Amino acid sequence: MLDAQLLALLVCPATHQEVTLASPADVQRLIAGVRNGEVRTVAGAEPDSAFEGALVRQDGAVAYPIRDGIPVMLVEEGLVIDRLELRPGPVAGGEIVRAAV
């Protein structure tokens, strides 16, 4: 699980905007978009769909994958998601709820 205190410290490395956790349903939509070829990385590459969560930038244009409980906060690994319109997910008991994959 991603700790709420850690989440409060994280920002987009490119724009310094706040990030929020994608809901489990939106993570599933994001994974499907990656598998269908609808989502690319900021660098223009085909991303790996092996992630269990995502942190969505405040403007909703980019998400950073969470792999093995670790947010991948690298600009080039960011997923361009502006067309998916993902929303923040729930926080339960101080811990972020992760999507089941």
Q: How far is CA 15 from the centre of its chain?
A: 15
Q: What is the pLDDT of residues 64-75, one digit of tens each?
A: 999 999 999 999
Q: How many C-beta neighbours within 10 Å does residue 21 have?
A: 27
8-state DSSP, 41: B
State the pTM of this model.
0.81
The pLDDT value recorded for residue 17 is 96
Q: What is the pLDDT of residues 12-69, one digit of tens each?
A: 999 999 999 999 999 999 999 999 999 999 999 999 889 999 999 999 999 999 999 9
Give residue limits of the domains in the chain.
Answer: 4-96
Amino acid (1-letter code) at residue 73: M
Token reading at 56: 């969505």
